[in-house]
Structure 1
Amino acid sequence: MLYIHFSCPPLPHLIVGGVSLFRKGDLHERRVLDQTFDLIFVFSGALYLEEDGRKYTIERNQYLILPPGNLHKGYKACTSDTTFSWVHFYTTGHYFYSENPITQVDSKMNKTKYYKKDVFYISLPQYGRIDDSLHEIMKNYMDSISQVKIDKYHNEKLFYSSTKSQIEYQQLFLKILTILRDLREHEKEKELAEVILDYFSSHYQNPFDLNQLAAQYSFHPAHIIRSVKKKYGLSPLQLLLTIRVQKAMKLLEEERHSVGQIASLVGFTDSSYFCKQFKKITSLTPLQYRNQPGVNPSTTEL
């Protein structure tokens, strides 16, 4: 993954937005934009673009930012009718690339910072996909700044007059950049949730302590709860209990331990609570699970 980092101020600004309608068999043009960034967002179909020797397939809800100075071209014709919006934008400030995003740490306000803004960075993944829930929001923003329509069906390029003030156009453009910037935050939440899952899988016998978990991974407890819930649909405690029950199911198949022993082995201090959680998750009591037909330690995998 390549990230583009814009040093601000000044902020990147919109030049023009448009929409293109490509037919099956159409190919994106070959060109180099000397000073202009080109953001492409696909609403339907797929574009096949090559930039600086790297090939990208941009499908529905995916986007690609083409930096200035690099050759980009279509390396394959559209295999179906394709609709996409595009934005040309520019910055008079400094920008650079890296394989990792910049984590912004704001310093505390003090009296020396009244009259000058500290430099901050907007880090955008060059290529990515937005969530389906943001599709209509992104489309509305892109449509609202569109002043050009390229229609391959009718072989025409149409230009439209401004319908908003320049401030409104720039505000909409920054909202688009905010959606792309926030993709990294969603990735971090996903990564955190997966880290918590791995930790529970290895330490399921340990007592549950959310504050200790928060201290261990340097995140607020509420952030951990939100991340795990978003990824797995469970609270951290529910996730841990599910893992414990899955471990207990394997032990029940072996028929070497009593229910009370198994409860202790998987981290429960109360066998009654273990039985209650087991039934809540599996709809069976531990003994019903052990005695049901087909439970065989040599063939059952969880």
Structure 2
Amino acid sequence: MLKFTAPPLPHYITSGPHTLLKGQKHPNRSNIQVFDLLVMKKGCLYMGEEQETFEVRQDHALILLPDRYHYATASCDEDTDYYWLHFQTDGPWSFLPQHHMNPVTDDISKKPVSKFLTRTFDLYLPQFTCLEQPSKVFSIIEQLNALEQGLDSQQVRWQQQVVFQELLQLLYASMKAQGGNTSTHCAELATAYLRQHFREEITAARLGEETNFHPVYIARCMHRQYGCSPMEYLQRYRIEQSKLQLLQTDDSIARIAEEVGFNQGAYFTSCFTKLEGISPSKYRQRFRS
């Protein structure tokens, strides 16, 4: 989550659509000096920023920070369409864990305030979110893109900033709608259970029993929150754990497969290769050499 002190408000710089073909990657960049908003229309961008990784799927949005290193963690597995938008602020901003958010300001009735002084407020935006109204977000960005054609007019530049503030409000609304609701709780509960028991055999029915949610509802919540089904999440988590063992131990591929919850070594190798684009043995050779 990002916290801005306003005024001044974050301001729009430029934007546009982009397509990456299957097998292509988002470019790696560092300290680009502007916030880079990515809004997905189709496909998935596999992104990393410092130590965090994101799977930015359809109807999701990610803000890459201006002072950090961001990079692609994998190639696109299908043709991928998205919008990019650069913005910046001349005021202070900070990066906060979501539980630190407190959008309720102090009771101003208890404080004498001069009517001649500028009063600031906190503006919160999600770094990564599932859009509550994706079609409306797409429409606003397309409007901004269309206004790019008239940059010679001062009135057009003013209109861009007005439209951009509406986009920020939609991003905030998406974060607010997801924070603390039942859908988010269900998804977080399910993923926590999957991470704790990834070595065990887990079915949709068992996951439902352990979390006290219907398996169909769990799948819907996880797809909304993480862009994947429970079993897809589990498989990816197992693969991530196997990568650590491949680099940190000399255990056989079959042993590692068993340790992370795969019953058959051949199936593990197939899943690993599909997700990483390289076999487990070649992954070990490449990154341990």
TM-score class, shorter-chain normalisation, is 0.5 to 0.7
Give the structure with the larger helix fraction.
2
Partners of 1:104 and 1:120 within 8 A in 2 = no
- Give the deviation of 1:111 after TM superposition: 6.9
Q: Could you list the per-position Cα deviations for residues 71-127 of structure 1 after superposition, in whole angstroms to 9, with x for gaps in the alignment?
A: 111111111111100110011110111113232325336873322232211111110
Quick one: which of 144, 153, 159 aligns to 1:168?
159
Q: What amino acid maps onto 1:179 in structure 2?
A: L
Partners of 1:16 and 1:147 within 8 A in 2 = no
Partners of 1:17 and 1:145 within 8 A in 2 = yes
Q: What amino acid maps onto 2:138 in structure 1?
A: K
- Give the deviation of 1:146 after TM superposition: 1.8
Report the CA distance shift for 1:15/1:113 in structure 2 as closer, same or farther (over 3 A).
same
Matching of residue 56 in structure 1 with residue 57 in structure 2: no
Partners of 1:7 and 1:120 within 8 A in 2 = yes
Matching of residue 145 in structure 1 with residue 144 in structure 2: yes
User: Unaligned regions of 5+ residues in structure 1, if any?
Assistant: 149-158, 195-302
Q: Secondary structure at the residue paired with 2:46?
A: strand
Report the CA distance shift for 1:58/1:137 in structure 2 as closer, same or farther (over 3 A).
same
Quick one: which of 84, 90, 95 aligns to 1:97?
95
Q: Secondary structure at the residue paired with 1:113?
A: coil
Matching of residue 108 in structure 1 with residue 108 in structure 2: yes
Q: Percent identity?
A: 23
Q: Distance in 2 between matches of 1:54 and 1:17?
A: 24
Partners of 1:17 and 1:147 within 8 A in 2 = no
Q: Distance in 1 between matches of 2:96 and 2:65?
A: 13
Q: Distance in 2 between matches of 1:160 and 1:49?
A: 30
Q: Distance in 1 between matches of 2:146 and 2:22?
A: 24
- Give the deviation of 1:182 after TM superposition: 1.6
Q: What amino acid maps onto 2:34 in structure 1?
A: T
Report the CA distance shift for 1:188/1:113 in structure 2 as closer, same or farther (over 3 A).
farther
Report the CA distance shift for 1:192/1:52 in structure 2 as closer, same or farther (over 3 A).
closer
Partners of 1:9 and 1:93 within 8 A in 2 = yes
Report the CA distance shift for 1:104/1:54 in structure 2 as closer, same or farther (over 3 A).
same
When the two structures are superposed, what TM-score results if normalisation uses the length of structure 2? 0.57
- Give the deviation of 1:147 after TM superposition: 6.3
Q: Distance in 1 between matches of 2:170 and 2:36?
A: 16
Partners of 1:104 and 1:121 within 8 A in 2 = no
1:218 alignment counterpart? none
Q: How does 1:1-302 map to 2 (within 5 A)?
A: 3-100=1-98, 101-105=101-105, 107-108=107-108, 112-131=113-132, 134-146=133-145, 160-162=149-151, 165-188=156-179, 190=181
Q: What amino acid maps onto 1:81 in structure 2?
A: D
Q: Distance in 2 between matches of 1:34 and 1:60?
A: 25
Q: Distance in 2 between matches of 1:188 and 1:66?
A: 21
Q: Distance in 1 between matches of 2:183 and 2:74?
A: 37
When the two structures are superposed, what TM-score results if normalisation uses the length of structure 1? 0.55
Q: Could you list the per-position Cα deviations for residues 201-241 of structure 1 after superposition, in whole angstroms to 9, with x for gaps in the alignment?
A: xxxxxxxxxxxxxxxxxxxxxxxxxxxxxxxxxxxxxxxxx
- Give the deviation of 1:30 after TM superposition: 0.8
Q: Distance in 1 between matches of 2:90 and 2:184?
A: 39
Partners of 1:14 and 1:89 within 8 A in 2 = yes
Q: Distance in 2 between matches of 1:192 and 1:46?
A: 22
Q: Secondary structure at the residue paired with 1:112?
A: coil
Q: Could you list the per-position Cα deviations for residues 237-259 of structure 1 after superposition, in whole angstroms to 9, with x for gaps in the alignment?
A: xxxxxxxxxxxxxxxxxxxxxxx
Q: Distance in 2 between matches of 1:138 and 1:189?
A: 23
User: Unaligned regions of 5+ residues in structure 2, if any?
Assistant: 186-289
- Give the deviation of 1:189 after TM superposition: 6.5
Q: What amino acid maps onto 1:10 in structure 2?
A: P
Count of residue pairs brought into register by the alignment: 182
Partners of 1:36 and 1:68 within 8 A in 2 = yes
- Give the deviation of 1:5 after TM superposition: 0.4
